[in-house]
Amino acid sequence: MTPTRRLGSIEITPIGLGCMQFAGQGIIASRFYPPLAADTVNAIVRAALDGGITWFDTAEMYGQGNSERMLSSALRAAGVSPGEVTVATKWPPLMRKASNIVRTIDTRLDALQGFPIDLYQIHMAQGSVSPLDRQVEAMASLQLDGKVNSVGVSNFSARQMERADQILRARGLRLVSNQVQISLLHRTIEDNGVLDAARRLGVTLIAYSPLKTGLLTGAFHASPERVRSTPPIRRIASGLTHRNLTRIAPLIDELTAIAHAHGATPAQIALSWLITYYGDTVVAIPGASKPSQAEESSAAMELTLTRREIDRLDEVSRAVSTSSRAKAAA
């Protein structure tokens, strides 16, 4: 049985399913991923559930609520009732006031079609016309009113996390999570104070882009021509260039060798390392554009890497990851 992690008072699996791929529309999300048919989304969610995944992360920004609707429809199609899984979503602050958080919550709940918001997150620390303090206060009001079950943030610095937790504690609440980019190729949490602050505060770090938008799957190394067919915004976000493919090749080689020893895939080894190396503090939300990817990600929870394998990946990763401390130690 897969060990669970804590998300505030909720138990979740170490790996959840990121649902940005379900957006289908919208200026940002649609440039990352092509639209998925409803039956494909249903199959992805079913595969995740069958693999033991118990929680799903979406956002208003993912297709102006389309991801939320597609997710909740897929959960119902799989026979899941509200309250049987954990659902997280996010409020985008872009050019909005903090009062918009309370004003739009019923729209979010409508999009989720009866599924409660177990975790409501401020999607980013910048972009609002209101100070962060007011945004966190508005989130606290929603939790105290029973509209959401817990409050989290996304892309917050260590200082911003601490301030958010301080505001929530004054209302008898606590900050539950901070969603940030973490992977074998992106380890800035180790030197920007976020990891230390999360451990000190008891905050769970939710790792988005845990496979660095596909770079850690090894697929681009096996078929470099795939770079040209990848949407430009994804290439930019992941640093998907032939130069970077060459630079990180030693890490992909190590992932591939360890994967072979376990009868697994490089992606599964990368995910297993991520949810093991940082202990209970870090959970991951890989996305999926097809059911096999959800199956692959969920199966990573069953892998047990040896101490030597964990340390070896740590060592090779430090030479190529985004982390000044890691590079200094290499």
Question: What is the token pair recorded at 20?
Answer: 């940005």
Treating both helix axes as pointing N-terminal to C-terminal, what angle do 158-170 and 132-144 enclose, rounded to 10 degrees? 40
Considering the domain 5-217+265-303, what is its CATH architecture?
Alpha-Beta Barrel (3.20)
pLDDT band at 109 (very low <50, low <70, confident <90, very high): very high
| Mean pLDDT, residues 218-245 | 71
| Residues ≥6 apart with Cβ < 8 Å to 14 | 2, 3, 4, 5, 275, 283, 284, 301
Residue 238's pLDDT band (cuts 50, 70, 90): low
Q: In this model, does residue 237 exceed pLDDT 70?
A: no
Average pLDDT, integer, range 40-66: 97
Judge whether residue 324 has pLDDT over 70.
no
Q: Would the pLDDT of 164 be above 70?
A: yes
Catalytic residues: 62
Would you call 314 helix, strand, or coil by DSSP? Answer: helix
Q: In the chain, what are the domain boundaries? A: 5-217+265-303
Q: What is the pLDDT of residues 180-226, one digit of tens each?
A: 999 999 999 999 999 999 999 999 999 999 999 889 998 877 766 66
Query: Whole-model pTM?
Result: 0.94
- pLDDT averaged over every residue in the chain: 92
Region 288-293: mean pLDDT is 97
**Distances in Å between the alpha carbon of 234 and those of 158, 265, 272, 320?**
27, 22, 24, 19
Contact assessment for residue 284 and residue 274, using Cβ atoms and an 8 Å cutoff: yes
Quote the pLDDT of residue 243: 83
Mean pLDDT to the nearest integer, 33-50: 95
> How large a percentage of the chain has pLDDT more than 90?
83
Per-residue pLDDT band at 328 (split at 50, 70, 90): very low
Mean pLDDT of 275-299: 98
Q: Which of 187-191, 231-235, 245-249, 273-277 has the lowest mean pLDDT?
A: 231-235
Phi, psi of 328 (to 5 degrees): -65, -30
End-to-end CA distance of the chain: 37
Under DSSP, the state recorded for 97 is -
Q: Quote the CA–CA distance of 164 and 194 in Å, as a whole number.
A: 13
